[in-house]
Amino acid sequence: MATKLEELQAEIELLKAQLTVVTEEKTEAQRMAKAMADASPFLGSTAEEQATGKTLTMKVCLNPHIPDVKKHKYHEVEVPTYYYNIQLPAGAGVCLYTNGVEYYHGETYEFDQYSLADVKSRVARCWDHEKSIHGNDENAYRKPTNRHLTMKRG
């Protein structure tokens, strides 16, 4: 019986060591994802969000079309989270407000997939508004070039 107990304790120690290694790898991956999200606006990266590797448990309504709230049915689901760097145009101010929480320009935040879609939509609308006011011409302040198509007649 003592040998069985010692075997189980040795197996527990082995599993603890493996868990420590996996946890360190996961936290390193999360650190890297946050660093990439922080650096993406400056490095010209096309990736707008970075997966964190974490999940969040949320309750999702299965029948939202029913007007009586008491008859709604909910189901818990695991939702992935993402790091997203907020990049606002100059005219949009310094932050976005969501339910009393301020999300500042240039900062990276962790969002679930539903909140991420909302924030990305609002950032895109800020940029569209900026373009509608100041124009969509990226070359507005550049020296004009003489662009003419000439062909030889022969």
pLDDT along the chain (154 residues), means of 10: 83 88 71 65 60 89 91 93 88 87 90 92 88 69 62 61
Q: Is residue 64 part of a domain?
A: no
Q: Is residue 69 part of a domain?
A: no
Long-range Cβ contacts of 39-46 (<8 Å, 24+ apart):
40/85, 41/85, 41/87, 41/106
Domain encompassing residue 98: 2-51+82-134
Distance CA 29, CA 74 (A): 32
Q: Is residue 32 part of a domain?
A: yes
Domain count, the chain: 1
For residue 154, what pLDDT is reported? 56
For residue 26, what pLDDT is reported? 67
